[in-house]
Amino acid sequence: MEVAEKLAPRVVIVTGASRGVGRETARELAFRGHQVVATMRNPDRDGPAVVQGFESHIQVAACDITSRNATEAAAAFALEQHGRIDALVNNAALLLIGAIEEVVDQEIHDLFNTNLTGQMRMTQAVLPAMRRQQGGKIITVSSLAGRIAGPAFGSYCASKWALEGLMQALRYELAPFGIEVSLITMGAYRTEMQFKSTFTTQKLQDGTSVYQAPCEAFIEGEKVRANLNPSVRTVACNIADAVEFPDPLALHIPVGFDVHRVMPLRERMSYDEFEAMISGMRNEGFPGSWFGTIEENPPVPVAE
């Protein structure tokens, strides 16, 4: 029985490939026969587990997307190895937890330098090659947090909303060159982000936050939920599909049962209705842990 005409192998750069969605995506693409340049900050430590079993399809490259030299070197490495770059999967990201009131400049700068400017740097690094090829795909892993916002991780939401704006604009700019831009709207999955790519505000670390209890409840809730969420396999498969897909990509590629539930509601409801729904939630994790804790421990006025 004739099945798949084998798709032509693509050359794909995946950032943040040391673990989570990035690693699984690199391996899924390799499994499907594509050539992957998997970038990460510490290849000596994290590279072997990513490559294992796919030695002829995954190459690891050191790249910290906060450095312009590093992003340009990663793009140059891919070109030198394979002669072209068919797709970039912008995946590297950090999560900052802490109330907006207490985020300091350096914290939000570090967050944006990875989640927004880092993605832009890496994208800019591959564009000359893609323009020469007259084609390519920029697939950026965003989040439900890029479409809605909530307490305790507002700065993360801000970084993802900003990324949405950047990529939506870029989509128009690159269309004439046949380069596609698409955003993965990812729901809650069992990634390692909650454990390994999260930093908290100094105030929270010091235990002096006015929002200490609800933020800690939020963190605890996310950790509990993280283990209940589906594995990142589906996200990786969907990203690999987008890399392979021959027809025009949609602006948003929703991935996750929660995304399919929340986005239609958000689009249909007035903001008042949506806010009432979110504030009424008491589930463990986002956003119920926050509201539940506030309800149990109402803030008391303190003279400063």
Partner 1 sequence: MADPQVVLITGASQGFGAATARELAERGHTVIATMRNPDRDAPALIEGYTGRIYPQRLDVTDASMISAAVTAALDQHGRIDALINNAGVSLFGAVEEITDEELHHILDVNVVGAMRVIGAVAPSMRARCSGKIINVSSMAGLIGGPAVGGYCASKFALEAITEALRYELQPWSIQVVAVEPGVVNTEMLHGNLSAIASVREGRSRYQGPTEALIKGLRAAANRRQGPRSVASQLADLVEIAEPLPLRVPIGDDAIRISQQRGLMTDDEWEGFLTSLRDEGFPGSYFRVVEEQGVG
The residues that are catalytic are: 18, 142, 156, 160
**76 forms part of the interface with partner 1 (CB under 8 A):** no
87 token code pair: 């797709």
Site for partner 1 in 203-242 (CB under 8 A): 227-231, 233-234, 237-238, 240-242
CB of 34 to partner 1, least distance (A): 12
**302 forms part of the interface with partner 1 (CB under 8 A):** no
User: Which is nearer to partner 1, 177 or 245 (by Cβ)?
Assistant: 245
Site for partner 1 in 162-191 (CB under 8 A): 190
**20 forms part of the interface with partner 1 (CB under 8 A):** no
CB of 170 to partner 1, least distance (A): 20
Of positions 246, 271, 272, 304, contacts partner 1 by CB under 8 A: 246
**300 forms part of the interface with partner 1 (CB under 8 A):** no
**53 forms part of the interface with partner 1 (CB under 8 A):** no
**106 forms part of the interface with partner 1 (CB under 8 A):** no
**4 forms part of the interface with partner 1 (CB under 8 A):** yes
- Report the residue count for the chain: 304
**254 forms part of the interface with partner 1 (CB under 8 A):** yes
- What's the CA gap between 16 and 236, in Å, rounded? 13
254 beta partners: 185
Residue 160 gets the label, from left (phi > 0), alpha (psi -120 to 50) or beta, of alpha
Segment contacting partner 1 by CB under 8 A, of 86-94, 147-155, 244-252, 292-300? 244-252
**282 forms part of the interface with partner 1 (CB under 8 A):** no
For 127, half-sphere exposure in the C-beta direction (CA atoms, 13 angstrom radius) is: 15
User: Which is nearer to partner 1, 217 or 253 (by Cβ)?
Assistant: 253
User: Which is nearer to partner 1, 9 or 213 (by Cβ)?
Assistant: 9
Q: Which residues contact 5 (CB under 8 A, 6 or more apart)?
A: none
Residues near partner 1 (CB under 8 A) are 1-5, 7, 28, 32, 190, 227-231, 233-234, 237-238, 240-242, 244-247, 249-250, 253-254, 257-258, 260-261, 264
